[in-house]
Structure 1
């Protein structure tokens, strides 16, 4: 280990694990069979990345002594994971027995670990033993005698050998592909226990609405979902658990939590699980506890259980929990080292942050980062949308839906309970409530007092703190911070006066100019 006052004058490679100097292995090189960076990350949760500049190559190394220690640590971790997996397999199959228990325990067959592969090898070994003991007689064991000794050795040996060669390869491959050391059935077991033994309400969150865990019916208020949940006592629970995978985070509402068997009131979900385990003798894999989320929700607020923050909408609370209370996450990005709790979030991060390929519209050459935004945009190029109740036509399905809601079918309107304003989409009502009535603006600027309701508005605001002007006019070389400002400016050069006064027919480049003109020349006040 290097001394604290030592100065490195690197002429050779520097080991990043012990600071030895020499000609060493690279921590990661595509031509290498082993990726030591991944081994360090998996064993010790350390992300060692090469520095930039001239020192990048010589400091991205590991010495042979540290390689041996790292391989031992990786093997030991794999051994512990495999043993834990085998232990819980035996535990759930009731194949573990206490010798102090006086009841009758079923016998477990033990297979002999025989290393003989063929009868000829066994015969040869017997003859070698005779030679070693000095017995030079020509008496040899007959083939019939060999068959009488261990008639099942050959069959069991093949089985053991098959497990050794194929089973271990599958298990090691499983460790590489699957970071978590538990199975889908373990998560389903703990969810089943909570539903059967407690009054907790399971639910899903989809498109800014609460969804029933059993029938996928959606609700805008959680009190409505909770009342609906009582209708599902007779349902087959197993059919609802099939959608759960190792990446699923199951959500429970636990404001009135109690045990159904006792009954006994519980403060937290951990207290309930301990009670079920100790009092009712129900076991589960404690590793999967991280896949269960507990919330205390009402129709008006959604408080965080880990800190003192309170939100008006559950979607904001969920984003807050993922961002602040899940740590780095178990799925790490290879490019920037950022962690995510699920594979889906990691893939979305890689696509948005580290992939240059965008979805480009072939009609208007506009590009989009996500497939959802691209699909929504393509609708505008599919022609007119006809109203089924009148001859009017619209360029998009949303404008047609808005027309139907306000002109023909008022039941499609969503009214705000605090004012007289109405909307067509629930998401529009949500933003209206957050910005107007609740003043719930969870996204704040670090440089000023600006606050907003979503991340998109915050990104637009952050441009005002930057001195860069990337959008430049090709006619007069004037530069702008925003693309829409450049597009408005170009209309001056093309004489695009799209805003026309209905009174006198005068046209203007910007709508602000038209408003000033109306106040100055056509105002009745």
Structure 2
């Protein structure tokens, strides 16, 4: 698994100026970092095509480019750099060949003339010849000058030129030892260029793309050949990768996934972060029982002749899903929820790292959201209708949709229903689509239908996280509302008043109990008088005050 760090603003969605598509876009004239290199796309257009784009100083929506067009622009820029490097190499080779140290100007003229005569009798080279072939041919021209000149049957002008060249050669006295030395120097230069130039011409993203594809191909082979269970998640909910069916119990997820054909996994959309449950790794092609991914790789390649790309590790994120606590497969650290475990796994394999605090993430968009927390916290988004301030555009959008437009904003993933809140959608999934959501407390026998309720229960009754303390006594409370109610016991205030009889109470809980006396049936009746009460506790107090001689048990007539 590999990911490229990208630094720069992202507009989602935006209209690309190059292809007209509505996608996630970047700004044309803003500097981005890719593969450790800085790039400005408007400058790349000028360098590659001589195109000076207009309206680059306007609003951000007027100067956008999508990721597809960025990739095509990078390819064009890489090809341009390749051509320039080859051209530079060719020029250096020609200069080295014809202007070596120790040669005189007459020798340079001699070799140039001989090369012209050579080209007149040789067939033209193909378009895709190598630079090293040109250099070797030039060496052959210099070595074979005496022989080919004597065999030449050209025109008189060519013969006269050859006579002048022979006199110059006699003056230089080219010896076989000198020719061999020059050949050795040229061979060394050719070998150096063959080793260095391909490395310089290699595009920077080839290795990462090949690594991602090889990792994905290995993952497909492993899924098809074993009982590992690929899955998707949304926070702490599990989804089948084949049909998007939702589960909260990983055992039911594994049982359901067995009904799908694993060979169709390669036809699914390719995601960089692949999550695999490895609680069961046994071979699907034979009865062999296997305990680790490394043993599985060796087994399917040796016993079943499956091909796996070598030297590939951590092709996917490995989990052992259980209904209770979840443990990290790398360090055995345990977590209550999958969302917390996946966030922890980024510390082992996340390649998107925050420059400020060192936090790790799998996806660049999550890193960008995190980096906003290091920026100014006073940035608010006001509602134009009522002036209420929000910390994000998304929260403002939900507020406007629900409060002002009266529009639902929470769509159901299984039908066309759109609901007004997350809670209503949650209830809709349970009541309409039959989603089973039961979360058992590990400390007691209580069961809840949401993780939030279970989390609140653990903090309140087991962890006893009471952050709100009274300034006048030592009592602490879990909720700030309970602290406010408690403060009335010190001040004597009775702010909670019944709207039917005017009786007041210092706490809201007392008022709610009292309100039942106006709405509920008064089952607890006194045998000595006509008084009736909604709670047995109130009946007992009545008997103690008014009828002390009667037994409490005799006062209830059901």
Q: What TM-score results when the alignment is normalised by the length of structure 2? A: 0.47
TM-score of the superposition, structure 1-length normalised?
Answer: 0.49
Question: Highest CA radius of gyration, 1 or 2?
Answer: 2
Normalized per residue, the structure richer in helix is 2
